[in-house]
Structure 1
Amino acid sequence: MVQTSQSDYLVVKGEDITLRGEPILLKGAGLGGWMNMENFITGYPGHEFQARAAIKKAIGQEKYEFFFDKFLEYFFGEDDAKFFASLGLNCIRLPVNYRHFEDDMNPRVFKKEGLKHLDRVIDLCAKYGIYTVIDLHAAPGGQNIDWHADAGNHQALFWEHKDFQDRTVLIWEHLARHYKDNTWVAGYNPLNEPTDIEHTRLLDFYVRVEKAIRDIDPHHILFLDGNTFGADFSRFGEPLPNAVYACHDYSRYGFPNPPADFTGSAEQVAYHEKSFNRKVEYMKRIKGPIWNGEFGPVYQNANDGLPDWKEINERRYNVLECQLDIYAKSKASWSIWLYKDIGFQGMVYVGEDTPYMQRLKPFLEKKKRLAADEWGCDDIPVREVFDPLEKWFLDAVPSLAQRYPQTWKPATHIGRVVRNILLSVSAIVPPTTCRLGQITLHPQAMLGGSG
């Protein structure tokens, strides 16, 4: 075994992340859709565990295991690491789902195969000089109210049941034990985008998980997201040692139906500066490093029926450029969301002529018409249905306008339950009619292509 010393690890020193005393900025992307699948990234509706269950019933256990093993293998390979490094990027955030490490029906039993592909990708990245941040994107019970926590509902039950928190601590103890000597792991991101309505339970958990990890691994940095999707640090007090506090900084101008197109005006630049400075005020106050763990626009394509789709994308590239300029002035490390998908937000994407995209095309078009996925959806086609429903809700329950998180409009709360959960889950084809079992599944053809 190669011997390591404290000087080989990245470490927080004042306002900087440093290596052997020299500041280093982490610049990269998140490998979303890989060990934590998301509906808009890979095309299925609803939540990952539901789609996996439907596929297993359709093709059987053996083919299911083979397919997803190859899915994970081909999603990110050596060519990806080589390409990523060629862009001058030096860090990949690796979102993982707890279900790779334990099952709800067999909790606290760590799966031996759970680290197979995580090890492989971390080693590949190290080969090309790329650091990795391990991000628990989906924790037992769901640490947030979104689909990517893979809980199947709109409640963050992680905060309501100590057992879910206990299991999460055990997972991090396993990961810390396994990676404590790996200096190419930049650190651990214990919870992605937590939504603790009480604001204090998150802070208690961070103290607890920090101690559990440090008892095993005293070296690696902890990357700690702010509350309410990485945007709220208002209750945060004294920083934990060797910790980087992380915001997420999406721009409303990077998504459909913005208040106005981004033109780069002084007012719009000032808006982005103000939004970012609000999110990083805590980091500046404690004089610590800044890491923006997620940001980035979504993009249109020729199939969206918009004659000016190329111009729209140019404006969204300009949003991205504006944000990167702001981060550079603040000496902020960053991780764009995301590296690879089916052609919506990724830096690279699956080719439209691949078997995967050809098979999914009619379904993706239907999802778009129904605004079934929350992320980046254009809800104009369904507003005639949902505007009266929103009015009805607000007339009956005016307090919906103050429901947590306050950054969500009533339409978001309603759409999340009705479209993104009820409609999307219903769209998962019952196994009695599913024809996936008659298809030759070829993950390499599905996920190897790029645009």
Structure 2
Amino acid sequence: MELVLCKWALAFLLSCWLIVAVVLSVEGLHGNSKVRGVNLGGWLVVEGWIKPSLFDGIPNGDMLDGTQVQFKSVTLQKYVCAENGGGMNVTVDRDIPSSWETIRLWRVSELEFQLRTSKGQFLTCDGDGCSVSATAVSPSSTETFYIERNNDGRVHIKLETGTYLQASKDNQLTADYSGTPGWNDNAATFEMIIIANNLHGDFQLANGHGHDKAKEVLKKHRNSFITVEDFQFLYRHGINAVRIPVGWWIAFDHNPPPPFIGGSLEALDNAFSWAQAYDIKCIIDLHAAPGSQNGMEHSASRDGTTGWPTSPDYISQSLDVIEFLASRYAKHPALLGIELLNEPSAADVPLDVLVSYYKRGYEIVRKHSTTAYVVVCQRIGNADPFELYQANIGSVNMVVDLHYYNLFDTFFVNMSTMDNIQYIYENREAQLQSLNSANGPLVFIGEWVNEWNVTSGSQRDYQDFGRAQLEVYNAASFGWAYWTLKNDRQHWDFEWNTRNNYLQLGHSPDPKIWTGLTLLGVASSCILLQYIL
């Protein structure tokens, strides 16, 4: 009788093993049951903070596209103001600057700029003698100004004709100063205060260097930043997947729209070949969409604004890029999945617009592949990831991507080492368990990093923090991917962290091994039971 019971127990556990092995495995991966990945950030989509040297040598490098400036008249001691944020005449009458007094630069050349207001209009002037207004919807020659600088932050602004703008006595900005103004107390002289110069993406690099120089810089970068040796390194450290950010212009690689530079498609092809050689899978991630989905440099935003959700053309172009990528790589043995959009902004991208895009993108990928994973990214900001579980985007090999950082929020500023670790176990783990048990897509921690706001962390502190993250994120039903392989900032650099023992990867739990050991234990118990009885 005992032998019969043991046979039933073994049969039951074998069934459980088959179920667990299927549920906790990602199709197409070898060596591990789930994704243990690394992002190739800063390679095919530029982020200046990852490799600042890419921007070396740009003339007026602190006046790239999107730089926010304010102009203060040295004679009136008042700020230039686009009333109501745009749509009216420009005055020089504000004592304290705010958003109406803040201008975003659109760079035309080293010295030529178009000036955009907080509501999106451009400063415009019809010619000599005009009063400047902020009424142009799109810029052309009448919205282009030359900015001359000296070494102490003062500037002159002039038209193509050579006439300078000045602050008139009745607080207007007019184009009627003739001659050459001096740099002291002169109505045509302004202090230029740079408020923010934090956009260093593909647009800023290409437009700042100019096409020929940018092509040279990016070719060298793409050929050297990520190489076949990096894939060998990842393989040796148990990494089985890479998430590769790409920009929308990759679909027009031989002749991309200005100012973007071709060549990223060849680099992506190389990555797939290297991945195949080392049994590593690729997730292609549309990181930068037309018009920008979040206003950040990694979405190739020109000036920090988010235009993607406001234009059907931008969304349609994005779907065309997904079509291009799916048709090109769907049959490649190294493809694991395609991520339809990275980090759409919760503040700017309505959920219904995003879900509609995701559903259409899912169908495009399915047209080319029945097995490739379709990854949809959670909105960043104030958004609940459950909103994507309730959206019914697709039914086969669907993944929701969450990005977990103990950064970028004042909530984390004063946390100690133990506070951060406790947050991982109490908050992150609880959310993962809830999502894992939901009837819907798999869970992917597509970006995380072994960095925090703890300024005095020791190596042991970093090891403990990394261990906590790995322990929790290993439970994600699809897996995780570290941000990023290489980085100018050491603790963001996966290679540096692993080589210097700040991040201890250990081994990924394999459900097949775990259930196999369980079966072995039950079998041993059955044998022991028979012996005793």
Correspondence list, 1:219-368, <5 A: 219-228=371-380, 232-236=384-388, 237=390, 238-240=392-394, 241-252=396-407, 258-263=413-418, 268-269=421-422, 272-278=425-431, 281-286=434-439, 288-298=441-451, 309=456, 311-312=457-458, 314-331=460-477, 333-344=479-490, 345-348=492-495
* 1:75 aligned residue (225, 242, 246): 225
| 1:258, distance to aligned residue in structure 2 (A) | 2.6
* 2:351 aligned residue (192, 199, 205): 199
Cα distance in 1 for residues equivalent to 2:332 and 2:433: 29
CA contact (8 A) 1:247 1:294 kept: yes
- What is residue 393 of structure 1 aligned with on the other side? none
- For 2:387, give the aligned amino acid: R
| 1:297, distance to aligned residue in structure 2 (A) | 3.2
CA contact (8 A) 2:36 2:480 kept: yes
| Equivalent residue pairs, number | 324
- What is residue 361 of structure 2 aligned with on the other side? 209
- For 2:352, give the aligned amino acid: T
Cα distance in 1 for residues equivalent to 2:296 and 2:314: 17
State the Cα deviation string for residues 208-249 of structure 1 (Å, max 9, x = none): 111122223333111111122696324232351221111111
CA contact (8 A) 2:377 2:402 kept: yes
- For 2:399, give the aligned amino acid: V
CA RMSD of aligned residues (A): 3.5
- For 1:149, give the aligned amino acid: S
CA 1:74–1:143 in structure 2 vs 1: closer, same or farther (change >3 Å)? same
Cα distance in 1 for residues equivalent to 2:344 and 2:310: 13
CA contact (8 A) 1:254 1:319 kept: no
| 1:130, distance to aligned residue in structure 2 (A) | 0.9
CA 1:160–1:122 in structure 2 vs 1: closer, same or farther (change >3 Å)? same
- What is residue 318 of structure 2 aligned with on the other side? 168
Cα distance in 2 for residues equivalent to 1:112 and 1:34: 13
| 1:325, distance to aligned residue in structure 2 (A) | 0.8
CA 1:20–1:98 in structure 2 vs 1: closer, same or farther (change >3 Å)? closer
Cα distance in 1 for residues equivalent to 2:252 and 2:433: 34
Structure with the larger RCO, 1 or 2 (CA within 8 Å, 6+ apart): 1
CA contact (8 A) 1:82 1:128 kept: yes
State the Cα deviation string for residues 118-140 of structure 1 (Å, max 9, x = none): 00011112101111110111110
- What is residue 208 of structure 2 aligned with on the other side? 54
CA contact (8 A) 1:231 1:249 kept: no
- Share of identical aligned residues, percent? 21
**Structure with the largest fraction of helix:** 1
Unaligned runs of at least 5 residues, structure 1: 1-11, 301-305, 350-451
What SS does structure 1 have at the residue aligned with 2:418? coil
TM-score, with normalisation over the residues of structure 1?
0.64
Correspondence list, 1:106-121, <5 A: 113-121=263-271
TM-score, with normalisation over the residues of structure 2?
0.54
Cα distance in 2 for residues equivalent to 1:257 and 1:111: 38
CA 1:128–1:235 in structure 2 vs 1: closer, same or farther (change >3 Å)? same
- What is residue 33 of structure 2 aligned with on the other side? 24
State the Cα deviation string for residues 65-99 of structure 1 (Å, max 9, x = none): 23321210111112111111111111111011123
Cα distance in 1 for residues equivalent to 2:495 and 2:446: 19
